[in-house]
Amino acid sequence: MAKAIPIATLTIFFLLVSTVFAQYQTGQQSQQQQQQFQFQQQEARQCRIQRLAASQPNQRIQSEGGVTEMWNEFEDQFQCVGVAAVRNIIQQNCLSLPNFSPSPRLVYIQQGQGLIGMSIPGCTETYQSGQQSVRGGSVRTTRQGEQRDQHQKVHRVRQGDIVALPAGVAHWCYNDGNEELVAVSVNDLNNNANQLEQKSRSFYLAGGHQQIYSSVQSAQQQQQQRETFQNVFRAFDENLMAEAFNLPVEVIRRMQQEDQRGFIVRVTGEGMRMIRPQEDEEYEERYQSRRANGLEEVYCNFKVRQYLDNPKEADIYVRQAGRINHANGEKLPILNYMDMSAEKGNLYPNAMHAPHWTMNAHSVFYVTRGEAHVQVVGSNGQTVLNDRVNQGDLFVVPQQFVSTIRAGNDGFEYVAFKTSSQPMKSPLVGYTSALKAMPIQVLANSFQISTQEAQSLKYNREHQTMLLPPRAVRSS
């Protein structure tokens, strides 16, 4: 006869089973939550654009010497293409303080002129004072009483220039001109160089917030923006920094003190003096092009600036329609390293940028002058942007989305920032178009049109390029 199992033992057994079952359920729920979280992350990374829109900056950092304006990077269109856009307005005799970013940046000088310097790691300070130098057949010496200095190359930038700023390279900008310097920049947050999250960041080596104006509704997003721009020296131990720089602690304290000037500051006195060649810019460009032999195209000697608005160097030109200038990896080799590029478009009144898609890059358009009617169509066959854009507007055209632009009565100018050093366009109209490359019978059967209509579809614009003049005007 079997022995009866004590009640206490049964109680312990059921408690153990209940505990194991509860742990199993908890594990299942945890796994489901983790899978749901991963799914939500994947959903967030997907480009589900239902509508694009031209937009203006919605955040403003007021500094002593200028203004930093930022577009809302949390908008779907910017999240989709993984970029962040900023416009800096630097007043005369003011300095945008040194900073660096984990993602590469392209800067277009919309107005004014100034000096930009970069501190490229591992490269020597090739600009030196306190000694004789020979260049262009003449000898120059340091002026009497001038303080000895040496630093890396300082670049003159003017309206119409595109400037390449690699990820992690500290840079600054000084307005020594007679008007405000306006610089529009786009950061490629999805670039392989950025191994942090997809978020705009700038690590400042000096300065601090003056005042932030924001129309962003989310308190969390506003707090994230405040944490995005801060002076990195401020949090270090002052004694540790004094030892690192071999400086008195009092100097370190001044470097770390709360600075209400912001990130663009006024320069004291009559202005900044630094080592600069005496040749004018035209001679310097001729000198650079004459001596370039391929050996200079190493990291430290990369050319970082290109004049993007030169009519004589247009890559596409149609007499009645306008011109397009490219800055890509062939013209500016540092862009191959950054995997970014830019183009400057100038459309004459009522001219059209032919319908096309960019095969390997997102495009971020900034309107520099005039107005235009822009249409963008997505893979769902629906129009995601159908609106007029005006000077100061910024809009996005994601990779593979088909777009077209018709200039207004006063013409239209733009600069487009692209997330590839060698962007490739596939036009729907013109002698290199996708439709022109197809047999007539394919077109006739695809669109249910006659062979004569298919022939007209192929050849009516066969002698024209990406820029189309108004129908009443025939291109030469």
pTM of the model: 0.81
185 has a pLDDT exceeding 70: yes
User: What does the pLDDT average to over 276-295?
Assistant: 46
Smallest CA-to-CA distance from 166 within 303, 68, 265, 347 is with 303
Task: State the pairing for strand pair 94-100/202-204.
Answer: antiparallel
Q: Which two tokens stand for residue 275?
A: 């080592």
312-354: pLDDT as tens digits: 999 999 999 999 999 999 999 999 999 999 999 999 999 999 9
**Which pLDDT score, from 0 to 100, does residue 447 have?**
94
Closest CA to 206 of 100, 105, 88, 87: 100
Q: Answer whether residue 67 shows pLDDT above 90.
A: yes
Mean pLDDT of all residues belonging to the chain: 83
pLDDT band at 223 (very low <50, low <70, confident <90, very high): low
pLDDT in tens, 83-135: 999 999 999 999 999 999 999 999 999 999 999 999 988 888 877 775 544 34
* Interval 423-458: pLDDT, tens: 999 999 988 899 999 999 999 999 999 999 999 999
Single-letter amino acid code for the residue at 37: F
Beta strands 363-377; 341-347: pairing state: unpaired
The 10s digit of each residue's pLDDT in 390-401 is: 999 999 999 999
Maximum distance among all Cα pairs of the chain, rounded to whole angstroms: 118
Are the beta carbons of 71 and 364 closer than 8 angstroms? Answer: no
Is 420 in contact with 360 (CB distance < 8 Å)? yes
Matching residue, tokens 């405040």:
226
130: left (phi over 0), alpha (psi -120 to 50) or beta: left
With a cut of 60, say whether residue 146 has pLDDT above it.
no
3-state helix, strand, coil in the chain (%, to 5): 25, 35, 40
Pairing relationship of beta strands 202-204 and 229-231 according to DSSP bridges: parallel
